[in-house]
Amino acid sequence: MYWIAVDWGTTNFRAFLMKKDEIIDEVIGTEGILSVTENQFDVVLYRNIEHWLTSKGKLPILLAGMVGSQKGWYEVPYQEVPITAKGLAESLKELTTYWGSKAWIVPGIQNLSQYALPDVMRGEETQLLGLADSADTYAILPGTHSKHSVISHGEIKTFTSFMTGELYSLLINSSMIGKGLPKQIDNEKYFLTGIEKSKENIPFTHLIFSARTKQLNKEIPAEFVGSYLSGILIGIELKNVEYENKIWVITNESLGEKYIVAGKYFGLNMEYVSGNGCFLKGAFKLINQLGN
């Protein structure tokens, strides 16, 4: 069985030609949903996967991510958790492309967070379904809006979002903290300094201002301010996590390593797992629910 999995986000496009659960080929590009004009999503999709369709025919396509949002191809309503692959598959948006392929768009999910506030995710639910079907799994998905989720026996139970990545980007690129800084270089020493400061009982908005003042008084070299700020933000995200067993960090290896280092400061046992791998395993579970 050949099929295509697509992870279509705000700024990125990734497509995978699959044979059952095996990757045969992939396309990675920058044509995120915000670059699509006049709702020509199927045109952009075809342009990226035409060579597969030419050789394999009208393959079924599963699409996840922001492609199912208000600004995407079709808005697919959020589904409530707890939810399994079967439940999510029952809410897929089905459509037929202009060249005749059947396609399905994965809905996002919603819940009240651990702090009793409304919360949503779109795209990460497919990655979460790709984790092993073990009991009581805690997963963290770092990113623009990091997600912390509890999964049990293949069912997504609950999740909470943190604006860690977006805050970092805003502070470095659009605030006085980042104004005039040179290109940022990763530095473990100042990253760990930021983590240490995050453990203290310092008001958050005062703490992040120290990323500017410590650079002004030469405590932190200008090229390492981002490392210090990253340590603060990741530390703030992790400091209230209470979980004794292994926590899976679903992301790329470099970002995963940062979270693992930070987690040790809070006594957390973390292990990296490939975000791509989880996405494709989750997508395979969903496509299987359709009988393809």
Sign, CA torsion 104/252/72/158: positive
Has residue 292 got a pLDDT over 60?
no
Specify the pLDDT at position 133: 74
Q: Which two tokens stand for residue 194?
A: 């930021």
pLDDT in tens, 249-259: 999 999 999 99
Q: What angle do CA 81, 82, 87 make, to 5 degrees?
A: 90
What is the distance between the alpha carbons of residues 188 and 184, in angstroms, rounded to a whole number? 13
pLDDT in tens, 204-222: 999 999 999 999 999 999 9
pLDDT in tens, 16-59: 999 999 999 999 999 999 999 999 999 999 999 999 999 999 99
In this structure, are residues 33 and 7 in contact, taking their beta carbons and an 8 Å threshold? no
In this structure, are residues 23 and 16 in contact, taking their beta carbons and an 8 Å threshold? yes
Specify the pLDDT at position 77: 98
Work out the average pLDDT over 104-118. 98
Specify the pLDDT at position 88: 97
In this structure, are residues 161 and 146 in contact, taking their beta carbons and an 8 Å threshold? yes
CA 45 to chain centre: 21
**Mean pLDDT in the chain?**
96
Q: Which two tokens stand for residue 288?
A: 């299987």
Specify the pLDDT at position 144: 93
User: What three-state secondary structure class fits 249?
Assistant: strand
Instruction: Give burial (CB, 10 Å; 0-12/13-18/19+) of 192.
Output: middle
Has residue 69 got a pLDDT over 80?
yes
Specify the pLDDT at position 38: 92
Specify the pLDDT at position 223: 98
Report how far apart, in Å, the C-alpha atoms of 67 and of each of 63, 70, 90, 124, 159 are: 7, 8, 18, 13, 21
Residue 218 is given by DSSP the state: T
pLDDT in tens, 241-289: 999 999 999 999 999 999 999 999 999 999 999 999 999 999 999 999 9
Work out the average pLDDT over 235-239. 98
Q: By C-alpha distance, which of 99, 21, 14 is closest to 286?
A: 21
What is the distance between the alpha carbons of residues 52 and 62, in angstroms, rounded to a whole number? 15
pLDDT in tens, 132-161: 777 789 999 999 999 999 999 999 999 999
